[in-house]
Amino acid sequence: MSAGHGPLAPLPDRVVRDPALLAFADEVGGVDAGPVAIEGGRTQWHLGGHCEPGTRLVRAPAGVVAFEPAEMTIQVRAGTTLDELDAALEPAGQRVALQGLPGTATVGGVLSVGLSGPTRLGHGHLRETLLQARYVSAEGLLVTAGGATVKNVTGFDLCRVLVGSFGTLGLLGEVILRTRPRPQAAAWLSGPADPTALFDRLYRPVSLLWDGATVWLYLEGYPEDVEAQTAIALEAGLVPVDGPPPLPSGRHSAEPAALRSYRPDAPRSGRFVAEFGVGVVHGEWSGPTQAPPDASVVALNGRLKNLFDPTGRLNPGRDPLTPSNGKADHR
Amino acid sequence: MDATLVAELSAALSPDRVHTDQLEQVLYGRDASLMRGDTGVVCFPLTTAEVQACIRTALRHDRAVVPRGSGTGLAGGAVPLEQPVLIVTTKMTDIEVDVDNRVAWVQPGVINLDLTRHLRPLGFHFAPDPSSQQSCSLGGNIANNSGGPHCLAYGVTSAHVVAVEVVLPDGELTMLGGLGADPAGLDLRGAFVGSEGCMGIATRIAVRLTPNPPAVATLLADFVEPAHAAAAVSAIIAAGVVPAAIEMMDQRITQAVEAFVGAGYPIDAGAIVLIEVDGLPGGVAAETAKVREVCMAQGARSVRVAADEAERMLLWKGRKTAFGAVARVKPNYYLHDTVVPRTKLLDVLQQVYAIADRHDLIVMNVFHAGDGNLHPLLVFDAREPGILDRVHAAGEEIVRASLEAGGVLSGEHGIGLEKQPFMALQFTQPDLDAQARLRDAFDPDGRCNPAKVLPQGSRCGDLAHLDAHHRERLLADGVWV
């Protein structure tokens, strides 16, 4: 734009016109509409602090808006379940890297909670799937964060802070997600083995779980490669199995290197399954006490919340600073 | 220059690392964009504490701070305005590898390629590989959420940053993210990466180590028609193959590059496509065969697989020195960085050629075709009267064509100063307002790299810092604000 021109206006397609989203924004309402909380599939309802009792509950609209297989992106409303998402993508041989999470969970729910499933080692953090988010702000306005393309650094990256925000900054209404080709071959193997040695020998395994004695390994890829990596695992004493072990309901966060020094004989007050290479430990015990976040981080979280939701009307009782460790109380 | 400010900075750092002389004023007034700013005091801290001292001193003197790495940014993000305290991180070059956590802690001045070289004996690399990787710094990569050819499969910088130690605009030190799997709180790390120096200064960064792939194949597909090349790119993705990289170069740039480095490119090709597949040997063989098949079906004259590492490196050298080769054609270039949906690549590319023709300009296209990230280079000689107006008019039309196809303004270069006005095409007022609030959470007073990224009127009043006098001076320099 040369300096003499007037200000530019957004292109017509940047203004949200989906009636389902507009209705959702109306339902959420503005500041005058008072506190409001959002529910999805309630599969992780107990995380992120407790929703204040009596808060008016809303649900995001559901359904696939657009899927162009050659684009390798899908646009869905946030209330769509992971099962519905997968069913839409499966015929095209694609999927979104939200594997290992409950099929009845909603897309908006898992993004708002922000905790990846047990294939994070190979598939990356679930936040990497989110390209664009449309949410209803505390003022009741529809806001678009990010963009539709697979690569985008236009402006400040609001999508990042929405993932894991527990709906405290805005209520997700619709998202565009990156898809990936489904693998041609996959295999789970398990057996007593040293996870460190196995991890160092394999090339980018998708999941490596360990309960202190036994490892579970998940491989994906081209058949010849899965076969070759399987051979390494067989040599290490693993055998083919149907799938991963059930994951204990508690969860805490460790540095990946800390798992290397976990010893099977260390005193434990319950079963655990650790995600090797990632640092997530699913445990039946409350886990080590996690150091409270630094005061500067707490202050930044507070400032962001105040700027996005000054009256605290969005999901009162929720707080992303609530540690994800500890036993789930399924309240 | 404010003598007290300079004296205090010199005392906090050392006099030989606080510069105000004429040469530095000129040198640090620019980055790799067309814009020229107004340099203040240029500081070269070595440590986190020195960065803090610079920021606190600037605060006391009511000066803004502008962070700067190697200055390779293409959007004016590091261009100083209103004589700020310029914090240049190029002397902060420590690398500390933590293999067990699969990260390296780096200071922001570490050069991208130096990190990868440092990691090579350990069997790892840093995945984002901007074309400027021989000279761009990690701090700059963090600020711009940089991409590069291999981001197609591996993701941009944000996916490779685990934690960032940041000196906030008020001088406080914080750690965003962490090595633990699920750091508590909002993903402030993610907000910081790509914030173009507007949310503080990164002083230590934990970047992810990516294992080097056991097998790699680099293919060169040669097309008579650029349209066929673009169609092949879309067809590769549609076939369910996500290569490590898919780069396209049109005839003009191919010829310029070939004359510049002799990469072995066919100069009679209408366009060439460079494709890299990597991973385990089975997948590499399968994808090599598939890519070849798709390219031939789309009308490629030939598909050549690099026979050895030397040939592979040469093919990449050509691609990565493309911008340098442009100087053989014209002394200046103006570059956009839009991204379009991959299925619209061909359509938008044809519009780009038509737009350049209409404005009687030379356009060269060399870009990350696999993710739809266009880099149309409008090449010109700035001494030609009136040419900048044509360049900017054509640029705006290219941006509009990309956005109308459903695309976005920037894929990896950022917004800085240069692309700011176009933000209002892509975002509505509530969208921009939300971005302004995100920035305000980190920098409520607009002290850190003010007047960048968000256009005037986004809410935060950034441009209030840039008084009318300074805007006029920028414009008088032939610079386009």
The mean pLDDT value of chain B amounts to 93
Residue A1 is nearest to which of B98, B180, B396, comparing CB atoms? B396
Assess B185–A contact: CB distance below 8 Å, yes or no. yes
Q: How far apart are CA B259 and CA B318, in angstroms?
A: 10
Instruction: Render the burial of A221-232: b for 16+ CB within 10 Å, e for the rest.
Output: bbebbbebbbeb
* pLDDT, average across residues B274-302: 97
Assess A269–B contact: CB distance below 8 Å, yes or no. no
Q: How far apart are CA B298 and CA B144, in angstroms?
A: 35
Q: Find the distance separating the first CA and the last CA of chain A, reported in whole Å.
A: 55
Which residue of A153, A220, A272 is the best one to mutate when testing the B interface, meaning the one whose CB has the most B CBs within 10 A?
A153
Assess A323–B contact: CB distance below 8 Å, yes or no. yes
Contacts of B159 in chain A (CB under 8 A): 124-125, 128
Which residue of A28, A73, A300 is the best one to mutate when testing the B interface, meaning the one whose CB has the most B CBs within 10 A?
A300
SS3 of residue B397 by DSSP:
helix
Q: Provide the token pair at A279.
A: 């640092």
Q: Is pLDDT above 70 for A287? A: no
C-alpha separations of A169 from A93, A138, A177, B81, B469 in Å: 34, 7, 20, 33, 38
In CATH, what number does B215-324 get?
3.30.70.3450
pLDDT at B224: 97
Q: Which spans in B265-418 are helix H? A: 281-297, 309-320, 322-325, 345-358, 387-404
- The verdict on a CB contact (< 8 Å) between A69 and B238 is yes
- Annotation: CATH topology of B95-211: 3.30.465
CB atoms within 10 A of CB A7: 10
- The verdict on a CB contact (< 8 Å) between A225 and B173 is no
DSSP result, B128-177: ---TTTTT-BHHHHHHHT---TTHHHH--GGGGEEEEEEE-TTS-EEEEE
ipTM score of complex? 0.95
Q: How far apart are CA B58 and CA B18, in angstroms?
A: 13
The region of weakest confidence among A151-165, B32-46, B452-466 is B452-466
pLDDT at A208: 98
Assess A270–B contact: CB distance below 8 Å, yes or no. no
Could you tell me the residue ranges of all domains in chain B? 3-88, 95-211, 215-324, 330-404, 428-476
pLDDT at A270: 75
CB atoms within 10 A of CB B210: 20
The region of weakest confidence among A192-196, A238-242, B465-469 is B465-469
**CATH class, range A12-181+294-308:** alpha beta
What residue in B sits closest to A132 (Cα-Cα)?
Answer: B408
Contacts of A201 in chain B (CB under 8 A): none
- Say if residues B332 and B379 touch (Cβ distance below 8 Å): yes
pLDDT at A267: 55
Assess A185–B contact: CB distance below 8 Å, yes or no. no
- Annotation: CATH topology of B3-88: 3.30.43
pLDDT at B276: 97
What residue in B sits closest to A185 (Cα-Cα)?
Answer: B283
Assess B270–A contact: CB distance below 8 Å, yes or no. no
Q: Write out the residue limits of the CATH 3.30.465.10 domain(s) in chain A.
A: 12-181+294-308
- Say if residues B294 and B230 touch (Cβ distance below 8 Å): no
Phi and psi, residue B208, nearest 5°: -75, 140
- Model pLDDT for residues B110-157, shown as the tens digit of each residue: 999 999 999 999 999 999 999 999 999 999 999 999 999 999 999 999
Residues 107-136 of A with CB under 8 A from B: 114-115, 124-125, 127-128
In angstroms, what separates the C-alpha of A78 from chain B's closest C-alpha?
18
Pick the CATH number of B330-404 from 3.30.70.2740, 3.40.430.10, 3.50.50.60, 2.60.120.10: 3.30.70.2740
What residue in B sits closest to A260 (Cα-Cα)?
Answer: B100
- The verdict on a CB contact (< 8 Å) between B393 and A93 is no
pLDDT at A285: 66
- The verdict on a CB contact (< 8 Å) between A150 and B190 is no
- The verdict on a CB contact (< 8 Å) between B371 and A94 is no
Contacts of A153 in chain B (CB under 8 A): 144-145, 147, 156, 194, 410-415
- The verdict on a CB contact (< 8 Å) between B453 and A153 is no
- The verdict on a CB contact (< 8 Å) between B408 and A149 is yes
- Model pLDDT for residues B66-106, shown as the tens digit of each residue: 999 999 999 999 999 999 999 999 999 999 999 999 999 99
Same fold, B3-88 and B95-211: no
CB atoms within 10 A of CB A278: 26
Which residue of B359, B408, B448, B449 is the best one to mutate when testing the A interface, meaning the one whose CB has the most A CBs within 10 A?
B408
Query: Around B165, how many Cα atoms within 13 Å sit in the side-chain half-sphere?
Result: 14
* pLDDT, average across residues A75-88: 98
In angstroms, what separates the C-alpha of B313 from chain A's closest C-alpha?
23
- Model pLDDT for residues B2-32, shown as the tens digit of each residue: 999 999 999 999 999 999 999 999 999 999 9
Assess A165–B contact: CB distance below 8 Å, yes or no. yes
pLDDT at A323: 73
- The verdict on a CB contact (< 8 Å) between A279 and B100 is no
pLDDT at A108: 98
